[in-house]
Amino acid sequence: MMSRTLVVGVDAGATTTRCVVATVDGTIVGRGAAGGANHNSSGGDIAERLKAAMSQALSDIDRRAVAGGILGAAGSSGAGRAIFGTASAVAWRDLDLSGDAVPVTDLEVAFAAGTAGTDGVLLLSGTGALAARFAAGELARRCDGYGWLLGDEGSAVWIGVRALRAVLAALDGRGAPTVLVDAAKELFAIGPGSAEETAQALLTAAFACPPAALGSFAPRVDVAAEQGDPVARRITTAAAAKLLHTLDTVEPDPGQPVVLAGSVLLSPGPVARAVHAGLTRRDIGTVRTARDGAAGAAALALARLTGAAVRPDVHARLTGHERPRG
């Protein structure tokens, strides 16, 4: 009976919600995805996004085998906890699943995706950005993660917003010329026109986007920086410095692992490279990657189900974890 028992893990980010269904030995038997479910920046119905991702993952599975789940989300701290908790309960109920749907933050699922241990630091930079130090599996200290308007320094959205500011400054003469102007026109499908017309078209397009979508400009900023554009280089250099400062602020314990998460840190580029170089200069333990937050959520669900820490071999099977560096 126990071998047929399943758990659900969900990682609801600002741009994408991912779900996995797994057995107790860490074998993933279902996957699903839907749009973002961060109430601060994604827009749309959170419960419907959760339900869509879980429905897809459970499409060929006997739902009666599900014993519980962990659902993690960006923007689910503080006041957002109640909002996400309600949405999780609604989605779970609508899918007629048994067991409990336990809502947690994206910090917990990202850290669990990178390590089976309970002590260390998470440094995340995707749509948002933050650092968090864990001790005995509990959040001991966090820094940033305050959303696109008030924080998330070094995130994809932070990079995208600063790049768009630089583009507008280049167009009206306040700033230096930059290839990011053409990159922004291509991204937002803006045709030929004067500098003023281009600026106004960019304003219209940018304000029409959900804030999380502005992070889609970040990969183009990386490319421009790699090609030597001084404006793009300043932005990516500043992003890496912000992330390393955020990491330092949570005061990592020497020798403990650092888990890197989020598209900015897990994709090749100048920001990820500079952050890795900064970690090398610090007294940091192994550096691990968290590429599947939904699998991290499933690992937490397994631990909750069994009442014991997930074995390293089960964790590796579940997360597809690579050998750590260092």
Rounded to an integer, the average pLDDT of 163-171 is 97
d(CA 135, CA 122): 11
pLDDT, tens digit, 9 for 90 and up, residues 134-155: 998 889 999 999 888 999 999 9
Q: Return the amino acid letter for 325.
A: R
The verdict on residue 85 lying in a domain is yes
Sheet of 129-135: strand order equals 138-144, 129-135, 120-125, 258-261, 287-290
What's the chain's average pLDDT?
Answer: 89
d(CA 213, CA 105): 21
The verdict on residue 41 lying in a domain is yes
The verdict on residue 300 lying in a domain is yes
The verdict on residue 131 lying in a domain is no
By DSSP bridging, strand 16-23 and strand 258-261 are unpaired
* DSSP state for residue 59 in the 8-state scheme: T
Task: Look up the CATH number of the domain holding residue 305.
Answer: 3.30.420.40
Tell me how many domains the chain contains.
Answer: 1
The residues, any chain, with a CB within 8 Å of residue 93's CB and separated by 6 or more, are none
What number of CA atoms fall less than 13 Å from residue 166's CA on the CB side?
27
Would you say 304 and 68 are in contact if contact means Cβ atoms under 8 Å apart?
A: yes
Q: What angle do helix axes 270-281 and 230-249 make, rounded to 10 degrees?
A: 40
The verdict on residue 39 lying in a domain is yes
Q: Residue 92 is part of which domain span?
A: 2-118+290-319
The verdict on residue 230 lying in a domain is no
The verdict on residue 144 lying in a domain is no
0.85 surpassed by pTM: no
The residues, any chain, with a CB within 8 Å of residue 289's CB and separated by 6 or more, are 114, 259, 260, 261, 266, 321, 322
CB atoms within 10 A of CB 172: 11
pLDDT, tens digit, 9 for 90 and up, residues 263-281: 999 999 999 999 999 999 9
The verdict on residue 60 lying in a domain is yes
Kindly tell me if the per-residue pLDDT of 63 is higher than 70. yes
d(CA 209, CA 198): 17
Rounded to an integer, the average pLDDT of 161-170 is 97
Would you say 120 and 107 are in contact if contact means Cβ atoms under 8 Å apart?
A: no
Rounded to an integer, the average pLDDT of 33-42 is 64
